[in-house]
């Protein structure tokens, strides 16, 4: 098994690593611990595509919940509130592809957060 040389960014819900950071897209591999969930958030300058690699997720987009399993994907339109939740007993891993004109972490508008980061 190849060892990753990328730096992991740790968060209260798990961690992520950036696989690609280009002018026209950014790609992250995101790992969410069991019972973890990301903040309910939206972005003004990007849309996202999430592909589930491992585990079981519940994705909320604009108030609608969708259960996704390994091999399934969902598109997150620009500007809509969204959240990823891991309700399973194992780690959830997904690939996030960001498309837009800006990919900085300061384009995250948190609406609700379990960890007080609003």
What's the average model confidence in pLDDT over 48-60?
Answer: 98
pLDDT, one tens digit per residue, over 93-112 is: 999 999 999 999 999 999 99
Q: What's 2's DSSP letter?
A: P
Q: Is it the case that residue 12 has pLDDT exceeding 70?
A: yes
Q: What is the pLDDT of residue 6?
A: 78
Q: What share of the chain is helix, strand, coil (3-state, %, to 5)?
A: 5, 55, 40
pLDDT-wise least confident of 1-10, 20-29, 42-51: 1-10
Whole-angstrom Cα distance, residue 90 to residue 21?
Answer: 28
**Degrees (nearest 5) of the Cα angle 86, 64, 106?**
70
The structural domains of the chain, ordered by start, are 28-102 (2.60.120.10)
What's the average model confidence in pLDDT over 81-90?
Answer: 96
């Amino acid at each position: 098994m190849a060892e990753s040389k990328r730096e992991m960014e740790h968060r209260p819900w798990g961690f992520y690593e950036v696989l690609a950071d280009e002018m026209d897209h950014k790609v992250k591999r995101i790992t969410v611990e069991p019972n973890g969930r990301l903040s309910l958030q939206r972005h003004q300058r990007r849309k996202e595509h999430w592909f589930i690699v491992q585990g079981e997720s519940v994705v909320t987009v604009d108030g609608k919940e969708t259960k996704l399993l390994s091999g399934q994907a969902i598109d997150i339109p620009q500007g809509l509130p969204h959240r990823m939740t891991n309700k399973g007993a194992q780690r959830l891993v997904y690939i996030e592809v960001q498309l837009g004109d800006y990919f900085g972490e300061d384009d995250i508008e948190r609406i609700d957060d379990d960890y007080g980061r609003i």
